[in-house]
């Protein structure tokens, strides 16, 4: 058994995998020893499986390479599920290896045993289960073939998590001093498919583009990608198209990106929205944050909607999809701009850009004229003071919404990430910490108190993370439920939605060796980012205060727009 597992570690090394996240356990000992004794991997040990899985997700998100994630049997494996679902919808490659009992011991009341076959069901790209017997040559061949297949499945044109379940018989530990037997192995490489439209299809797409004067391009969540940005900018200039990209699109450095659509679309009535309706909608990337943008496009549906996606199931978020273009977005936007077209009507684009400019000015004026401190105002200051070449991590609930309403500036060299695959709060801190372990640049986490305290086991380990800076918006409860439509006026709001809590983060920071500061003035930001070691700045407020300021902001935008 140990020789076969060592050969799997050799295959992972041949595939370029460098990081292994290990959750301690006994049944998983053969897997742990195979990777640790191999010597080519960075091994990271975390005791909380849920947090460990999100840390692995953060590492894989940063490196764009699969990270190996190992757990023992039973409920330990189940604790990986939230991060695996997030990785699936964000298309992040993870190689999940779970130890198990042999088949005959399932449902026999044996310890630490659950039904692990296909445990992650619809949230992995594929799942395999190996044999418990590794003595036959065919078993070794099957294990190695499966492992190669799992790696290239995890990292193909639409990356994602894959799962291999390993039933192990005892003894689990090798005899002390005995050498690991050499097992011949081979790594099966696979080339990702190159998806491009045929020349005939591309000619048809170019011909169709000539028919539309009102072209709207919506960039969904995606990583910073200079070739993509340049290709999209060239396309929008060529066709006088509008580019909308929220804070998670990482398109803020493209000068004519409409970044404040969430703000002004929410301020316009249906008739004024209709003047912005596109004839052709082109989308790419993952989800968008803005509910206002979704409602606008569902209400004012385009004549045609093209979604650019090489492989996999294409979403119909706006209920208007008419064509799936199976290609990489860079390829499409480059080739769709390659030929001269007739002059386009510039009025449509000018209308959108005028609203963008007016809204950006209104946002600045609102915060300049609002002297009273608030968490919303503090976020506005924070975004203006982010260090160059840093990464901003946005926790779910209000932090990601605040950042989207405010937006980043065109010149800011900042990358943005958030767990918007499932939009949960459960692993926001752990994911940011995974980035901090994989990237020496400054990692900035903007989070709320419920998300932060819920994921405090992100710090329960011995790994150093001096480059992590946390800004904690502590309004002592789930403040979002007092701000969004629906629960805000319910009598049950305080007890069952906000879930008030009275703690602050000082003691937790002391326990884990994190420098603690309390926010008081805008002048604190430079010192906060420049100091040594991990640090947290806590901004305390009340839900009622935040509600007043946030609603004032939306009213101000309505009057300004």
pLDDT digits (tens, 9 = 90+) for 436-459: 999 999 999 999 999 999 999 999
Q: Which tokens belong to 131?
A: 């044999």
More confident residue, 190 or 16: 16
**C-beta atoms surrounding 373 within 10 Å:** 18
Q: In which residue are the tokens 């020789």 written?
A: 3
- In CATH, the architecture of 199-350 is 3-Layer(aba) Sandwich (3.40)
Say whether 370-560 and 2-167 share the same fold.
yes
Query: Going by DSSP bridges, is the β-strand pair 280-284/257-258 parallel, antiparallel, or unpaired?
Result: unpaired
Tell me how far apart the alpha carbons of residues 548 and 550 are, in angstroms, rounded to a whole number.
6
Half-sphere exposure of 10 (CA within 13 A, CB side): 17
Question: Which class for 175: exposed (0-12), middle (13-18), buried (19 or more C-beta within 10 A)?
Answer: exposed
Q: Which tokens belong to 63?
A: 């490196």
Q: Greatest CA span in the chain, whole angstroms? A: 79
More confident residue, 536 or 2: 536
Question: What percentage of residues in the chain have a pLDDT greater than 90?
Answer: 76
In the chain the first and final C-alpha atoms are separated, in Å, by 68
Residues 6+ apart with CB under 8 A from 76: 23, 25, 49, 112
* Structure confidence at residue 487 (pLDDT): 65
Tell me how far apart the alpha carbons of residues 323 and 363 are, in angstroms, rounded to a whole number.
37
Is pLDDT above 60 for 341? no
Tell me how far apart the alpha carbons of residues 7 and 148 are, in angstroms, rounded to a whole number.
11
- Residue 485 pLDDT level (bands cut at 50, 70, 90): low
Tell me how far apart the alpha carbons of residues 242 and 281 are, in angstroms, rounded to a whole number.
10
Question: Which class for 292: exposed (0-12), middle (13-18), buried (19 or more C-beta within 10 A)?
Answer: middle
Tell me how far apart the alpha carbons of residues 158 and 433 are, in angstroms, rounded to a whole number.
24
**Pair 362, 369: CB distance under 8 Å:** no
Short-list 94, 62, 44, CA closest to 439: 62
Summary count for the chain: helices (H), strands (E): 21, 18
Q: How would you classify residue 312: left for phi > 0, otherwise alpha for psi between -120 and 50, otherwise beta? A: left
Which class does domain 2-167 fall in? alpha beta
Tell me how far apart the alpha carbons of residues 430 and 426 are, in angstroms, rounded to a whole number.
9
Q: What number of residues does the chain have?
A: 561
Is pLDDT above 90 for 483? no
Give the pLDDT confidence of 171-185 residue by residue, as tens digits.
888 877 677 777 777
What superfamily does domain 370-560 belong to in CATH? Thiamin diphosphate (ThDP)-binding fold, Pyr/PP domains (3.40.50.970)
Is pLDDT above 70 for 339? no
Is pLDDT above 90 for 407? yes
**Pair 416, 394: CB distance under 8 Å:** yes
Tell me how far apart the alpha carbons of residues 417 and 391 are, in angstroms, rounded to a whole number.
8
- Extended beta strands in 57-129, E state: 67-71, 94-100, 126-129
Residues 6+ apart with CB under 8 A from 147: 8, 11, 12, 164
Give the pLDDT confidence of 8-29 residue by residue, as tens digits.
999 999 999 999 999 999 999 9
Q: Which tokens belong to 363?
A: 């946002």
Calculate ∠ Cα 269-275-278, nearest 5°.
120
More confident residue, 553 or 157: 553
Q: How far is CA 364 from CA 256, 394, 546, in A?
A: 18, 21, 18
**Pair 358, 229: CB distance under 8 Å:** no
Question: Which class for 24: exposed (0-12), middle (13-18), buried (19 or more C-beta within 10 A)?
Answer: middle
More confident residue, 254 or 489: 254
Where do the structural domains in the chain lie, given as residue ranges? 2-167, 199-350, 370-560
34-55 average pLDDT score: 96
Tell me how far apart the alpha carbons of residues 227 and 224 are, in angstroms, rounded to a whole number.
9
* Structure confidence at residue 196 (pLDDT): 86
Tell me how far apart the alpha carbons of residues 251 and 415 are, in angstroms, rounded to a whole number.
10
- H or E element that contains 209: helix 199-210
């Amino acid at each position: 058994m140990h020789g076969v597992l060592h050969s799997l570690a050799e295959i992972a090394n041949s595939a370029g995998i460098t990081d292994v996240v290990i959750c301690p356990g006994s049944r998983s000992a053969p897997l742990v020893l195979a990777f640790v004794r191999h010597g080519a991997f960075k091994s990271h040990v975390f005791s909380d499986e849920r947090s460990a899985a999100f840390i692995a997700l953060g590492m894989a998100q940063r490196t764009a390479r699969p990270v190996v994630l190992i757990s023992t049997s039973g409920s330990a494996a189940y604790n990986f599920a939230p991060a695996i679902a997030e990785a699936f919808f964000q298309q992040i490659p993870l190689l999940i290896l779970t130890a198990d009992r042999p088949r005959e011991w399932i449902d026999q009341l044996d310890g630490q045993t659950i039904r692990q076959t296909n445990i992650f069901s619809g949230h992995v790209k594929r799942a395999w289960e190996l044999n418990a017997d590794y003595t036959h040559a065919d078993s070794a061949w099957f294990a190695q073939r499966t492992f190669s297949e799992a790696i290239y499945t995890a990292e193909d044109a639409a990356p994602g998590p894959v799962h291999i379940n390993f039933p192990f018989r005892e003894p689990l530990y090798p005899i002390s001093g005995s050498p690991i037997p050499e097992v011949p192995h081979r790594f099966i490489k696979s080339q990702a498919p190159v998806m491009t439209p045929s020349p005939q299809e591309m000619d048809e797409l170019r011909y169709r583009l000539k028919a539309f004067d009102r072209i709207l391009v919506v960039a969904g969540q995606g990583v910073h990608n200079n070739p993509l940005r340049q290709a999209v900018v060239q396309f929008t200039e060529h066709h006088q198209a509008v580019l909308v990209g929220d804070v998670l699109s990482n398109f803020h450095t493209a000068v004519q990106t409409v970044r404040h659509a969430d703000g002004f679309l929410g301020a316009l009535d249906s008739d004024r929205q209709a003047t912005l309706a596109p004839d052709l909608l082109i989308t790419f990337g993952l989800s968008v944050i803005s509910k206002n943008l979704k409602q606008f496009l569902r209400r004012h549906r385009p004549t045609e909607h093209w979604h650019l996606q090489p492989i996999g199931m294409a979403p119909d978020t706006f209920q208007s999809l008419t064509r799936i273009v199976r290609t990489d977005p860079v390829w499409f936007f480059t080739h769709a701009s390659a030929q001269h077209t007739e002059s386009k009507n510039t009025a449509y684009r000018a209308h959108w850009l005028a609203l963008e400019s007016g809204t950006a000015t209104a946002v600045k004026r609102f915060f300049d004229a609002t002297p009273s401190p608030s968490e919303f105002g503090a976020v506005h200051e924070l975004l203006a003071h982010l260090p160059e070449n840093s990464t901003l991590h946005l926790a779910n609930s209000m932090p990601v919404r605040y950042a989207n309403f405010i937006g980043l500036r065109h010149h800011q060299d900042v990358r943005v990430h958030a767990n918007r695959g499932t939009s949960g709060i459960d692993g926001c801190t752990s994911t940011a910490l995974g980035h901090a372990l994989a990237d020496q640049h400054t990692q900035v986490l903007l989070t709320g108190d419920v998300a932060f305290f819920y994921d405090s086991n992100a710090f329960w380990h011995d790994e150093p993370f001096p480059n992590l800076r946390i800004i904690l918006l502590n309004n002592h409860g789930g403040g979002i439920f007092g701000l969004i439509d629906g629960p805000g006026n319910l009598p049950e709001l305080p007890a069952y939605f906000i879930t008030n809590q009275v703690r602050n983060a000082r003691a937790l920071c002391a326990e884990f060796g994190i420098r603690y500061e309390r926010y008081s003035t805008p002048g604190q930001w430079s010192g906060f980012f420049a100091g040594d070691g991990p640090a947290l700045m806590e901004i305390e407020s009340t839900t009622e205060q935040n509600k007043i300021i946030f609603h004032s902001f939306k009213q101000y935008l309505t009057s300004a727009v």
